[in-house]
Amino acid sequence: MPSSARSARPWPGIAPPGRRAGPAHDPPPRSGVHPVPLICFASPKGGVGKTTLCAAIAVLLRQQGHRVLALDCDPQNALRLHFGVPFDYEPGFMTGLAQGVGWREALVETASGVLLLPHGATDMRSALGLAQALDQAPALLTAPLQEMLADPALVVLADLPPGPSTALHLLAALAQTVLVILLADAASAALLPQLAAGSFFGRGTVAALRNARVQVVLNQVEAEDPLSTAVFDCADQTLGLGLVGAVARDRRIPRALAERQSLAAMPEESPALEDVRHLAGCLGAGLPAPRPAGAAEAGPCFQVAS
């Protein structure tokens, strides 16, 4: 990307001016507990690009040498589409929890090298039933997740449902980082005071500990749009170090998804890809060094269409 174009943007790569990025943003370590390689992707509302960013960062961390497992906890079951899994592929990890399906049985190996646990095809009634089951028996989800995190060479990225959810409540307790994705629009600007007050998870000691792990990424920022840059400036001033990323709007991203291509496979000149690469680098710097991978314990392998 030409330097003249880069300088026109209100943020250099990911970190705004004067801001450090990477391990400096990691939440305070919990007493007696080492940070675990679990990164949750959350959002107060849908349609913000949460799943797209989760998939792209999973691929980029894999390219850094990490073993990566992408876990889809969102009933929309859309994460699989970023990895070339066919529309008619219905099995999944979340939908199999109540039936006792093991997480290793649900693993899908993707062409990118990322291991994938699809959510699984579901309907409203089944999704509500799963939420009730997790409320009554949280270990249905936390036990297999702790098994995954027991592997020191594995990094888990979890795509969570938008808004409050049982999955967010359970996984945030184990996560190293909760990335909250917002758009550079007026609706997201209205949520900034809540995030700045550290009340994303509510009030009280437990909520405060979880709020400390929250970091915000502003997605689809347009340097030429006055509203977009105003929201960025507001987020920068309101959140301070809590704003760890800004990703440029790129209209080629929806087209890439329609063609079943990952954002990470977009042309190098894409400003959005530049931003996401920077974010992945920051996140990777806060993770344990990659270790040699053993044999993959995965099921079907799907190739992403080129």
Q: Angle of helix 139-149 relative to helix 124-136, nearest 10 degrees?
A: 80
Residue 20: inside a domain: no
Report pLDDT digits (tens) over 204-249.
767 777 788 899 999 999 989 999 999 999 999 988 888 999 999 9
Residue 23: inside a domain: no
Q: Are 27 and 40 in contact (CB under 8 A)?
A: no
Residue 259: inside a domain: yes
Below-50 pLDDT ranges, the chain: 1-34, 295-296, 303-306
Residue 151 belongs to domain spanning: 34-289
- What local confidence, expressed as pLDDT, does residue 299 receive? 54
41: phi then psi, degrees, rounded to nearest 5:
-110, 115
Q: What's the CATH code of the domain at 128?
A: 3.40.50.300
How many domains is the chain built from?
Answer: 1
Residue 76: inside a domain: yes
pTM: 0.83
Q: Whole-angstrom Cα distance, residue 54 to residue 139?
A: 24
- What local confidence, expressed as pLDDT, does residue 264 receive? 73
Residue 195: inside a domain: yes
Q: Are 216 and 247 in contact (CB under 8 A)?
A: no
Residue 16: inside a domain: no
